[in-house]
Amino acid sequence: MSIIVIGLSLSFLLFLLAAGLTLIFGMLGVINFAHGALYMLGAFVGYQIVHMTGSFWLGLLFAPLIVACVGALIEILALKQVYDRDHIFQLLLTFGFILVIDDATKMIWGFDYKQVPTPEIFMAPISMFGSQIPSYRLFVIGFGAAVSLALFLLLDRSKWGMIIRAASSDPEMAQTLGVNVNRVRTGVFALGAYLAALGGVVSAPLVPIELGMGFSVIIDCFVVVIIGGLGNIRGAILASLLLGMTRAAGYTYATEWVELLTFALLIGTLMFRPAGLFSTKGRSA
Amino acid sequence: MKLLALESCNVTYGKAQALHSVSIEVAQGEVVSLIGRNGAGKSTILKTIIGLKQPVSGRRVWKGDDVTARLPNQLGRLGIGYVPEDRRIFDNLTVHENLRIATVMGRTGAWTETRIFEMFPVLLDRASQAGNTLSGGEQQMLAISRALLTNPELLLLDEPTEGLAPLIVDELVDSMRRINEEGMTLLLVEQNLRVPMKLAHRQYVVDNGTVQWSGTTADLLANREEIEKLISV
């Protein structure tokens, strides 16, 4: 039972990040290396808010908004300037932002790792199916599912989602229909940063908040995005579930084999379904 | 009244020059066609009008105002509608969404979804299908409808009848004539004379990135042999 709970909570955290990465790739054509750094920044800003106000919920509300603003600034001040250049410039730029965000974090918060306590109402474990389940993990699952559902509704049903999909599919054509594609790009990058930071704050009570935290998570996210099919957000949720459950099972039964299992999934996908396990013909975002 | 003009526009793709000092004028209510062979520069002229290409020199003028520096989304909002070559239907949007996206900029007028569905009932039948599941003719209807729903004053049509069955071409020509009779100005690109002769009041013949000839449709009839030489492959 606890494997399922840990697996699902891991899956939804991965999806929050992978969804942003996928959306940004679909709209901007850029693989955002700095996505893990934004996740880490979300956790640190969340820590700061919790530290100052004593409320986890204020952190969950405001830290992602602050990181979304940082994302918007990165897009406007830096990425926008290099869209016309070769792809490699955009990659190098997002890679550069890892270093900038890491150093800024060091300057503000120092080298020590930080901790965010589990919110009080989720302190006590819950008995389910004969085992003790940490209730915060259940919250992560419910919250992750709700955010994922909201994201799908936003993309599939709302006017904004329609504009994002149109602008991702054919930016020039969307522009002739009056869509300000520059602004859509900024918005999508900010949304991706928001989701990454949301993942950071939600993870904060589960893991130590430290400088390297973005790095390990971004690798898993790339694996999810590749297994799901680059730019395919439906694929990303299935791939998140697959990887999250695999890793949870691995931690329980064969701890030393977790990384091997992760990359076996990746290599298997690249060998047999290089377009992604769940690829369809069209991109869904 | 002069609606739109390109004045001595030079346009390049990298180092290759696509248009050499092209000047075009379209008056309110007209149907004007640009004819010429493949690669002559006709599509580039339309792209320059809607802002997808910026002239390296020359001016774009809308109702007497210099709009050379405007972006495509701003030109679309001014009232220029664009039906591109290859239709460019959004393949990850449904047919209905492909129409709704045109109404996002908020230009309202005579063209509403209801009227579109009256003119092209097949689009209503296919409303919830993905845009890329339509046949060529249906995609063309959708591309035209999408542009109409922006309620433009000037509609640019890049080879709207290319690759379509003759029966559907006749249907589209009828639709375009009706659209014009209701007051919309059309600028049409075609490779042959068939559709322009039926629809257009004035013609520009384009070759090698320059305007080689221009005149009324009656003038064109009088010089038909000379013109056909200019556009034949």
pLDDT in tens, B178-230: 999 999 999 999 998 889 999 999 999 999 999 999 999 999 989 888 888 88
> How far is the C-alpha of B102 from the C-alpha of B6, rounded, in Å?
25
Residue A101, classified by CB atoms within 10 Å of its CB into exposed (0-12), middle (13-18) or buried (19+), is buried
> How far is the C-alpha of A12 from the C-alpha of A241, rounded, in Å?
7
A284 falls within a domain? no
Phi-psi region of B111 (alpha: psi -120 to 50; beta: other; left: phi over 0): beta
A137 falls within a domain? yes
CB contact under 8 A, A175 and B101: no
Question: Which chain B residues touch A284 with a CB distance below 8 Å?
Answer: 92
- Minimum Cα–Cα distance from B149: chain A residue: A177
Interface test with B, best of A168, A170, A176 (most B CBs within 10 A): A176
pLDDT of A185 reads 96
Question: Which chain A residues touch B97 with a CB distance below 8 Å?
Answer: 162, 165-166
A285 falls within a domain? no
**Per-residue b or e along B184-196, where b marks 16 or more CB atoms closer than 10 Å to that residue's CB:** bbbbbbbbebebb
- Hey, CA dihedral for B95, B97, B102, B107, is it positive or negative? positive
* CATH, residue A15: 1.10.3470
pLDDT of B163 reads 79
A183 falls within a domain? yes
pLDDT of A239 reads 94
Region A98-103 average pLDDT: 95
**Could you tell me if A175 lies within 8 Å of chain B, comparing CB atoms?**
yes
Q: Per residue in A26-57, pLDDT tens?
A: 898 888 999 999 999 999 999 999 999 999 99
Region A84-102 average pLDDT: 92
Pick from A162, A175, A284: CB nearest B97:
A162
**Could you tell me if A185 lies within 8 Å of chain B, comparing CB atoms?**
no
Task: Kindly list the domain boundaries of chain B, sorted by start residue.
Answer: 2-231
Interface test with A, best of B47, B101, B145, B158 (most A CBs within 10 A): B101
- Minimum Cα–Cα distance from A169: chain B residue: B90
**Could you tell me if A165 lies within 8 Å of chain B, comparing CB atoms?**
yes
Question: Which chain A residues touch B50 with a CB distance below 8 Å?
Answer: 176
**DSSP labels for A14-64?**
HHHHHHHHHHHHHHH----TTHHHHHHHHHHHHHHHHHHHS-HHHHHHHHH
CB contact under 8 A, B50 and A176: yes
Residue B54's closest CA among B64, B68, B42? B68
Task: Read off the pTM.
Answer: 0.90
Fold category of B2-231 in CATH: Rossmann fold (3.40.50)
pLDDT of A211 reads 92
pLDDT of B42 reads 95
Digit-by-digit pLDDT tens for chain B (233 residues) are 899 999 999 999 999 999 999 999 999 999 999 999 998 999 999 999 999 999 999 999 999 999 999 999 999 999 999 999 989 999 999 999 999 999 999 899 999 999 999 989 999 999 999 988 999 889 999 999 999 999 999 999 999 988 788 888 888 899 899 999 999 999 999 998 889 999 999 999 999 999 999 999 999 989 888 888 888 86
Size of interface A-B (CB pairs under 8 A): 77
A158 falls within a domain? yes
pLDDT category at A230 given cuts 50, 70, 90 is confident
CB contact under 8 A, B101 and A174: yes
**Could you tell me if A284 lies within 8 Å of chain B, comparing CB atoms?**
yes
Q: Per residue in A71-88, pLDDT tens?
A: 999 999 999 998 888 888
Structure tokens at B70: 């405007």
Domain count, chain A: 1
> How far is the C-alpha of B44 from the C-alpha of B42, rounded, in Å?
5
Question: Which chain B residues touch A179 with a CB distance below 8 Å?
Answer: 73, 101, 104-105
> How far is the C-alpha of A220 from the C-alpha of A207, rounded, in Å?
16
* Backbone φ, ψ for residue A229 (5° rounding): 100, 120
Q: Are B32 and B206 in contact (CB under 8 A)?
A: no
β pairing state of B2-13 and B57-62: antiparallel
Q: List the domain range (segments joined by +) for residue A180.
A: 1-279
